[in-house]
Structure 1
Amino acid sequence: MQFPEDDNGQMLAAMADAGIDLTQSIEVDFFLVFDDQRDAESALEALSQKDMQGELELNFDEESTKWEVIVCLQMVPEYATLVAKETELNNFAKEFDGISDGWGVMQNQASDNEFADDDHVHTEHCKH
């Protein structure tokens, strides 16, 4: 599979290299960053009023001292869809003096059955 030579393309290539099936729906986290807690809370409230199928979370990042709204959506990670959603969320965040700070996925998705066995001992014959 080939991907565009930008951050989103590189992320998708890394996901494919890690064995994530990019044809299946997975949880994708989009990160919106705000300097001010009230702006982040207002954005969170506005997002919760939208008819969006996903989960929302508000976090304070002590390292960056910024507020982060995480928008978790179940979706097939297609390049054009990810770029469109990231652009949409960035435009939304700007209304509240925030910005989009990209997206990511958890390495172990619920569909990753091969990693479900915590007692598994890794050997040189493992393929993961």
Structure 2
Amino acid sequence: MQFPDDDNGKMLAAMAEAGIDLTKALDVDFFLIFDDQRDAESAVEELSQSELEGELELHLNDELGKWELIVCINMVPEYQAIVDQEVELNEFAAEFGGATDGWGVMQHQEGDDEFADHDHECDDDCHH
């Protein structure tokens, strides 16, 4: 699989090399940063009332000393879809004095058995 030679392309290439199936929908976390807590909270309020289908998490990022809004969207991580979503979120964040700060995917996704408890033995009480 070929990807453009930019940050998004390099991230997708690294994900593919790590064995992540890029043809399936994954929870993609987009990071928006804000200097001001009130601006960040206003952005959360606005996003929560929008048509955006995703989960929102706001916290103070101690390393950055800024408020970080994580927008988790379940999507197929195609290059153009990632770029389009980043542009849209960056324009949105700018309305509240913020900006996007990259994106990522947690290694463990639904369906992965990499972190399964291999010592577990199923019995009649199991629900998986």
Equivalent residue for 1:69? 69
Q: Does residue 20 of structure 1 match 2:20?
A: yes
Deviant stretches of 4+, over 6 Å: none
Q: Is the 8 A contact 2:39 2:96 kept in 1?
A: yes
Amino acid at match of 2:42: S
Moved more, 58-67 or 106-115: 106-115
Change (3 A) 1:4 1:38: same
Query: What percent of counterpart residues are identical?
Result: 68
Q: CA deviation at 1:30?
A: 0.3
Distance apart, 1:51 and its partner CA: 1.3
Match of 2:55, SS state, is strand
TM-score (norm 2): 0.90
What are the residue-to-residue correspondences of 1:26-105 with 2, within 5 Å?
26-105=26-105
Whole-Å separation in 1 of the counterparts to 2:23 and 2:10: 17
Q: Secondary structure at the match of 2:69?
A: strand
Once residues 118 and 54 of structure 2 are traced to their aligned partners in structure 1, the CA distance between those partners, rounded to angstroms, is 28
Could you say what secondary structure the match of 1:117 adopts?
coil
Moved more, 107-116 or 86-95: 107-116
Deviations 1:80-108 (A, max 9, x none): 00000000000000000000001100011
1:31 Cα shift? 0.4
Partner of 2:115 in structure 1? 115
Q: CA RMSD in A?
A: 1.3
Which sections of structure 1, spanning at least 5 residues, go unmatched? Answer: 121-128
Counterpart code for 1:43: A
**Code of the aligned partner of 2:60:** F
TM superposition shift of 1:119: 4.1
Q: Which amino acid aligns with 2:25?
A: S
* Pair 1:68–1:118, CA change in 2 (3 A): farther
Letter matched to residue 17 of structure 1: E
Cα–Cα, structure 1 residues 37 and 118, in superposed 2: closer, same or farther, change >3 Å?
farther
- Report the count of equivalent residues: 120
Rounded Cα–Cα distance in structure 2 between residues aligned with 1:93 and 1:22: 27
* Superposition TM-score, scaled by structure 1 size: 0.90
CA distance in 2 between partners of 1:7 and 1:62 (Å)? 24
